[in-house]
Amino acid sequence: MRLTRSAALLLAAVLVVFLGLYVFPLATLVRESFKVYRSGRIGGLAGTFTLANYAELLTPAYAGYFLDTFRIGFIATALGLVVSYPIAHFVARGRGRIRTLWIALLVAMLFVGTLIRAYSLALTFGPVGILLPVSRFLGVSPNSLTITELVVIAGLLHYVIPLMALTLIGTIHNVNPALELVAQSLGAPRWKAFFTITVLLSGRGILSAFLLGYALTISSFVIPMVLGKGIVLFATNLIFNRFSELAHYPGGAAIAVVMLLLSFLIIYGIVRVVSRRLEPA
Amino acid sequence: MPVTRLLDTAFVVLFGVVLAATAVFLVVPIVMTVLMSFDGREYLGRFPPPVLSLRWYTAFFFDSYYMVALRNSAIVSTVAATMATATGVTAAVILDRYRFRGREALSAFFLSPLVVPTVVMGFSVLMFLSLLGLYDGFVRLIAGHIVITAPYTIRTTLASLVGIKRSLVEAALSLGADERGAFRDITLPLAKTGIVAGAVLAFALSFEEVSVSLFLYDPPSTTLPVAILGAMRSQFNLTLASASVVMMGVTTVLVLVLDRVFGLDRIIGAGIYRS
Amino acid sequence: MGPDVSRRKFIASVAAAGAASAATVVLGGGRAWAADSLVGVTWGGAQVEASKALAEKFSSQVKPTTFAWELHQGGAANILPKIRATWPQVKYDIVAAWDPVWHGMIQEDWLEPLGDLPNLKDVPERFWTKDRQGRPVTAPLNLAALMWGYRTDLVKKPIASLKDLLDPSLKGLIMLNAPVSYSALQIVSMALEFGGSEKNLEPGFDFLKELARSGNVGRVGGGDIGHINSTTTGEIAVGFGASTNWQGIQKSAAVTLLNRVPSSKGLRGFHYTEGWSILRGPKAALAKEYANFCLSPANDEYYAGAIGAGPTNSKAKPTPELSRYFYQPDEIERFAYFPDFPVINSQMQGIVKRFETEIVPLIRKA
């Protein structure tokens, strides 16, 4: 359906909100990223212009950190999705006590608070938790990069599963349960019916949940900071280093702009590809 | 065929195992948080805590510093979540119902604030609002929180709208409803789950938000996470844990009570296919 | 003509004053309009409590003043964007900070000169922070010390020099601070140990690379809280932190401090000052009175004791229990080090970049 005038007006209203609270502030950020920064000063020098803050990032080390952010975020989100879908399915289709408890758990988990969550995760999965016996079992050093990355992923999962599960409940609600039964009565095994009917029909919802989770994981900073022990660095950690005593706001702004551009491209790419394949019948 | 039957059973069992394992995975750190809140030690030590104490709870409840901050958080988060939900639902419905050029790009654009680290968002909003001469803490906080929570409400609502076929609305229209009536009576109730999920998410995330808040607050509008972080200087203040447990407890009780009184289905909706 | 004109003039002047005050409230943004009030920023916990106590005393003994307090979120540096965003319409009148942050503020010309504070003359000049014109711009209230230390129960072989950090028995037990923490002083201490200085950090980076390759580094960064928590949970054993950190860690286990090691050039107590700085603006005069009040021998002694640090006023008595962290006058020459913060500040960007691009990759591979 083409846009009606009232719809367009409403959309414009939303755009105004985003413009005022998001685009214009980001514009000041972009402007900051082009300012000259001198070590010892606070922020960029007004009225200057330079590309140095971006040129700084053209080293393999920084490319590596960006890659890490997108890679680890992707793994955590994908794993989270695989696990969130059954939960959402159970809550959407189930009844009874356990279902209510699941909803209570998911909602309560949203209120844990980022910093305390990171520390309780560190106590559970980290070097003072089950990590030592687990890493011994796997035959790896507890300080190795792989183990640290696994711990970060575990932390990110904790962050992202409640979110994705709650998003997917709404999707699965609107998928006809009868279709699965129909498929089974036509001879399909349960697992095949599940995957080819329910999962496929919730495709657009799965996309939404995945994008939500992915956006969240790549922009998280407390979890990599506490659980990553300073050797797993996300782009956000790099930004945080620059926004602190260093007061290198132009540098932090440059990293943020690069992150934003890369993420926007990736997200747009995913939306485009999946939307095409899932165009409603 | 027995093999298919076996695969089927294996599938069901796997499903249950994944659920149970995830439940354990999610619950254990929560239990850890609860234990930390009762930890009598003045520092973060290994599990299990040797001495239990209520000090972090008394510190939380009997200090007006935290209670005022709690009140501020409640105000900011409620207002921000309400406005974010209104914005989000509007955007989601339009993105879902209409086809126009640049729809996917707009969809990605509306999601993009999530990708901006909250530290950066806070800094940018601070800079911009200062250019506009807006110095009031509450206004700045609400503005900042709206922009970081609106993407959630848009996405969760979209996730729900996805399954609502146009034919349902068309049926309503053919029975005499107008576009707005069809929206109000058909689309909105069926998307309720997504809308409620988005509102809850927006509130929760705004409530525990600290990175944006620390740039935008001023003394009268100190929010709870900012208050707790500020009190931590050279000691890991476990009031953080007790505040968390209180919030988790309140929401759990709320969910259980709402289920008992109204039935959760009525509140979060049950979608098209349930009565 | 006379009375009419004067009445008209009077009304006009009242109207003008009213309009001006209304305009100030609307446009003036944050500065509190009430006649005698101050907005202060300081650290939470003991700092703000002690500052509030002194504020009450000031209000009753010197001049009735209402104070509003904002707390530092983490490091003092997080207040800087808030000042910069609104300068010169800043709502803060008096800001607690420490040397590196002050030097940044000096570069931005934000600070009011405090040379005329009567109590400042009781504070040794070595604790003053001066602006580019050589004028003191801070009211230093307390001394703080940074030092290496370790948990005695977790380290088998006692550490006597920085070279000992390379011992294989310390695998994964050493914590490195993020360079921005403590103004890269951990790296400065490594540089000093191997013949360098603030101006020549190369020996420090060489050692840092060796340490990174050795696999002994268990954690990088996390700030004060990260240091304390990692040590109290036993995740790491050896670290570099403020005296207040070590006081917190001591509650969990015995600690050996490396601030009195005669044979080492790098294992020293690195001193810096904390205290008030006053932002230029209409409230500067009142803020100066309060700062001066806090600097009196009695008040400085109270403040330093309340927060667990050494006083700066030479007539104030230091707390005996803190002698572990702070030196007697004869020890200062042997063990204390007063870093050159402006020199470090001017290199900080390069230090951070080198750390991220050269050191962290080595730790990751180890």
Give the model confidence (pLDDT) of A228-244 as tens digits: 999 999 999 999 889 88
Mean pLDDT of A105-110: 91
Contact state of A143 with C172 under an 8 Å Cβ cutoff: yes
- Give the B window 75-104 contacts with A, CB below 8 Å: 87, 90-91, 94, 97-100, 104
- Give the B window 165-224 contacts with A, CB below 8 Å: 166, 179, 190-191, 193-194, 197, 200-201, 204-205, 207-208, 210-211
Q: Which of C29, C82, C242 lies at the smallest CB-CB distance from B133?
A: C29
Please tell me which residue of chain A has the smallest CA distance to B100: A2
Domain-embedded: residue C282: yes
DSSP string, C172-221: T-EEEPPTTGGGGHHHHHHHHHTT--SS--HHHHHHHHHHHHHT-EEEE-
Q: Which of C86, C224, C225 lies at the smallest CB-CB distance from B130?
A: C86
Q: Are strands C174-176 and C37-42 parallel, antiparallel or unpaired?
A: unpaired
Cα separation of C75 and C98, whole Å? Answer: 10
Contact state of C45 with B232 under an 8 Å Cβ cutoff: yes
- 3-state SS, residue C338: coil
Lowest mean per-residue pLDDT among A161-165, B42-46, B204-208, C21-25:
C21-25
- pLDDT score at B274: 65
Domain-embedded: residue B193: yes
Mean pLDDT of A13-38: 92
B41 contact C CB<8A? yes
- Whether C227 and C352 map to the same domain: the answer is yes
- pLDDT score at B13: 92
Please tell me which residue of chain C has the smallest CA distance to B128: C85
Would you call the peptide bond into A86 cis, given omega within 30 degrees of 0 as the criterion?
Answer: no
Q: How close is the nearest chain C Cα to the Cα of A64, in Å?
A: 10
- pLDDT score at B275: 43
Contact list in B for residue C25 (CB cut-off 8 A) is: none
Tell me the sheet residues that pair with C42.
C71
Domain-embedded: residue B188: yes
Cα separation of C24 and C182, whole Å? Answer: 39
Size of interface A-C (CB pairs under 8 A): 112
Residue C248 belongs to a domain with what CATH number?
A: 3.40.190.10
Best of A125, A229, A255 to substitute, by most chain C Cβ atoms within 10 angstroms, is A229
- pLDDT score at C301: 94
Q: Subunits touching C (CB < 8 Å, at least 3 pairs)? A: A, B
Contact list in A for residue B18 (CB cut-off 8 A) is: 83, 86
Model confidence at B127: pLDDT above 50: yes
Give the confidence band of B1 by pLDDT, cuts at 50, 70, 90: low
- pLDDT score at C35: 56
Domain-embedded: residue B247: no
Q: How close is the nearest chain A Cα to the Cα of C78, in Å?
A: 6
Give the confidence band of B89 by pLDDT, cuts at 50, 70, 90: very high
- pLDDT score at A280: 55
Cα separation of A81 and B16, whole Å? Answer: 16
Model confidence at B224: pLDDT above 50: yes
Of the candidates C34, C112, C66, C71, the residue with the CA atom closest to the CA atom of residue C292: C112
Model confidence at B112: pLDDT above 90: no
Lowest mean per-residue pLDDT among A251-265, B207-221, C30-44:
C30-44
Contact state of C74 with B229 under an 8 Å Cβ cutoff: yes
- Whether C233 and C154 map to the same domain: the answer is yes
Give the model confidence (pLDDT) of C259-304 as tens digits: 999 888 999 999 999 999 999 999 999 999 999 999 999 999 999 9
Contact list in C for residue A223 (CB cut-off 8 A) is: none
Q: How many helices (DSSP H) and strands (DSSP E) are in chain B?
A: 14, 0
Q: What is the length of chain B?
A: 275
Both tokens of residue B261? 């009184």
Q: How close is the nearest chain C Cα to the Cα of B234, in Å?
A: 6
Best of B115, B203, B251, B257 to substitute, by most chain A Cβ atoms within 10 angstroms, is B115
A54 contact B CB<8A? no
Angle, CA C224 vertex, CA C218 and CA C225 arms, to 5°: 80
Q: Which of A229, A238, A243 lies at the smallest CB-CB distance from C219?
A: A229
Q: Which residues of chain C have pLDDT under 70?
A: 1-35
Give the model confidence (pLDDT) of B144-167 as tens digits: 999 999 999 998 888 888 778 878
Query: pTM of the prediction?
Result: 0.88
- pLDDT score at A279: 63
Q: How many domains does one find in chain B?
A: 1
Pick B267 or A57 by higher pLDDT: A57
Q: How many domains does one find in chain C?
A: 2
Q: Which of B45, B123, B233 lies at the smallest CB-CB distance from C44?
A: B233
């900012």: which residue's tokens?
A: B226
Residue B164 belongs to a domain with what CATH number?
A: 1.10.3720.10
Please tell me which residue of chain A has the smallest CA distance to B250: A108
- Whether C180 and C220 map to the same domain: the answer is yes
Contact state of C78 with B214 under an 8 Å Cβ cutoff: yes
- pLDDT score at C31: 47
Pick B132 or C19 by higher pLDDT: B132
B130 contact C CB<8A? yes
In sequence order, the 6+-apart residues with CB closer than 8 A to the CB of B198 are: B84, B85, B88, B89, B152, B153, B154, B155, B156, B157
Of the candidates B244, B98, B266, B272, the residue with the CA atom closest to the CA atom of residue B196: B266
- pLDDT score at C297: 95
- Whether C192 and C255 map to the same domain: the answer is yes
Cα separation of A14 and B83, whole Å? Answer: 11
Model confidence at A245: pLDDT above 90: no
Domain-embedded: residue B252: no
- Whether C124 and C36 map to the same domain: the answer is yes
Give the model confidence (pLDDT) of A84-106 as tens digits: 999 999 998 888 888 889 999 99
Tell me the sheet residues that pair with C94.
C40, C278
- Whether C214 and C314 map to the same domain: the answer is no
Return the axis-axis angle of helices B2-37 and A145-173, rounded to nearest 10°.
110
Best of C71, C91, C219, C247 to substitute, by most chain B Cβ atoms within 10 angstroms, is C71
Contact state of C44 with B232 under an 8 Å Cβ cutoff: yes
Domain-embedded: residue B47: no
Contacting C with CB below 8 Å, chain A residues are 37, 39-43, 56, 59, 61-62, 64-65, 119, 122-123, 126-128, 141-143, 145, 225-226, 229-231, 233, 238, 241-249, 251
Contact state of C85 with B130 under an 8 Å Cβ cutoff: yes
- Whether C243 and C262 map to the same domain: the answer is yes
Contact list in A for residue C342 (CB cut-off 8 A) is: 40
How much of chain A exceeds pLDDT 70, in percent? 99
Q: Subunits touching A (CB < 8 Å, at least 3 pairs)? A: B, C
Tell me the sheet residues that pair with C143.
C273, C310
Q: Which domain holds residue C208?
A: 145-270+340-365
> The complex's ipTM?
0.87
- pLDDT score at B147: 93
Q: Which domain holds residue B104?
A: 64-240
Contact list in A for residue B210 (CB cut-off 8 A) is: 114-115
Both tokens of residue A240? 């945080």
Contact list in B for residue A76 (CB cut-off 8 A) is: none
**CB contact at 8 A, A164 and A212:** yes
**CB contact at 8 A, B115 and A265:** no
Please tell me which residue of chain C has the smallest CA distance to A61: C357
The mean of the pLDDT values for chain A is: 88
Contact state of C348 with A142 under an 8 Å Cβ cutoff: no
Return the axis-axis angle of helices B239-261 and B64-97, rounded to nearest 10°.
50
Question: What are the domain boundaries of chain A?
Answer: 40-277
Domain-embedded: residue C108: yes
Contact list in A for residue C81 (CB cut-off 8 A) is: 43, 243, 247, 249
- Whether C124 and C223 map to the same domain: the answer is no
Cα separation of A261 and B112, whole Å? Answer: 9
Q: Are strands C217-220 and C94-98 parallel, antiparallel or unpaired?
A: unpaired
Model confidence at B110: pLDDT above 70: yes
Cα separation of A52 and A44, whole Å? Answer: 12
Best of C154, C217, C352, C358 to substitute, by most chain A Cβ atoms within 10 angstroms, is C352
Size of interface B-C (CB pairs under 8 A): 87
Of the candidates C307, C359, C41, the residue with the CA atom closest to the CA atom of residue C187: C359
Please identify, in words, the CATH class of the domain defined by A40-277: mainly alpha
Contact list in A for residue C340 (CB cut-off 8 A) is: none
Give the model confidence (pLDDT) of B228-262 as tens digits: 888 887 677 888 899 999 999 998 998 888 888 87
Contact list in B for residue C85 (CB cut-off 8 A) is: 126-127, 130
- Whether C229 and C165 map to the same domain: the answer is yes
